[in-house]
Amino acid sequence: MHRVINSAILYFGTPVVLVSSLNKDGSANLAPMSSAWWLGSRCVLGFGARSKTPQNILRTGECVLNLPSAAQAGMVDRLALTTASNPVPEMKIKRGYRHEPDKFGLSGFTSTPSERVQPPRARECPVHLEATLKHAHPIAAESDDLRGRLIALEVQIERVHVDPAFSWTGTRTASILTNGGR
């Protein structure tokens, strides 16, 4: 039997996406997020609007969506509670965040050049999706404390790189197989 709950926020996680983008100084940023949904060759990414990653994507119009495997969870976890923002915003300090200028180095992922966009790919991830920004959708919140703090970025997938250990079918659609949890 289901029960009714009251929740301050609804958050149903999707698989983690490591979003690489370029900071203002040209350095690479790598940030985990799990608010992504796909429709055809587009992806909608949900962010806190004041975070460094959406700021970078809005400024440059580019990013790479790196899809890590379950075996890379430890590498992804090393990025938890880190930010490229310097100084670290007060609200993030209260939540335990710290500034990390080299997220690729910290995580153990290797930065490798992209073909169609400037941000690098995370070489070890089995899937890389090079993307360009198509639309930004500010999210209106019911409460004043969240107003202006959420944004959905709609990106167009421009190039897909898939590890040869995975298989896919068709020429217009890709179906990634888990290959035994690799």
Residue 13 in this model has a pLDDT that exceeds 80: no
Contact criterion met (CB below 8 Å) for 112 and 123: yes
Give the pLDDT confidence of 81-122 residue by residue, as tens digits: 999 999 999 988 998 999 999 999 999 999 999 999 999 999
Q: Where are the alpha helices (DSSP H) in the chain?
A: 52-60, 73-77, 90-94, 103-107
Q: Are the CB atoms for 181 and 73 separated by under 8 Å?
A: no
What residue ranges do the domains of the chain occupy?
17-162
What's the confidence (pLDDT) of residue 132?
Answer: 98
Share above pLDDT 90 across residues of the chain, in percent, rounded to a whole number:
66
E strands, 35-167, where?
A: 36-39, 42-48, 62-67, 82-83, 98-99, 111-112, 121-122, 127-139, 150-162
Tell me the percentage of the chain whose pLDDT exceeds 70.
81
Q: How many CA atoms lie within 13 A of 146 on its CB side?
A: 12
Q: State the pLDDT at residue 147.
A: 55
- CA dist 146 and 149 (Å) reads 5
Assess whether pLDDT exceeds 50 at residue 177.
no
Cα dist from 102 to 67, 83, 105, 109, whole Å: 19, 10, 5, 11
Condensed to tens digits (0 to 9), the pLDDT of residues 137-176 reads 998 766 555 556 889 999 999 999 999 886 555 444 444 4
Task: Tell the residue number behind the tokens 């915003």, with chain if given.
Answer: 89
The whole-number pLDDT of residue 170 equals 46
| CATH architecture of the domain with range 17-162 | Roll (2.30)
Average pLDDT score, the chain: 86
Which position has the higher pLDDT, 58 or 9? 58
Provide the 10 A C-beta neighbour count for residue 68: 21
Q: Which two tokens stand for residue 177?
A: 């197989």
Here the tokens at position 136 are 């930004």
Computed over its alpha carbons, how large is the radius of gyration of the chain?
Answer: 17
Q: How much is the average pLDDT of 39-56?
A: 93
pLDDT score recorded for residue 142: 62
Residue recorded with tokens 């404390």: 145
Beta bridge partners of 130: 64, 159
Supply the pLDDT for residue 8: 59
| pLDDT, mean of residues 24-45 | 93
Contact assessment for residue 150 and residue 46, using Cβ atoms and an 8 Å cutoff: yes
In 3D space, the residue among 174, 140, 173, 139 whose CA is nearest the CA of residue 153 turns out to be 139
Please give the pLDDT value at position 12.
Answer: 56
Q: pLDDT at residue 5 above 80? A: no
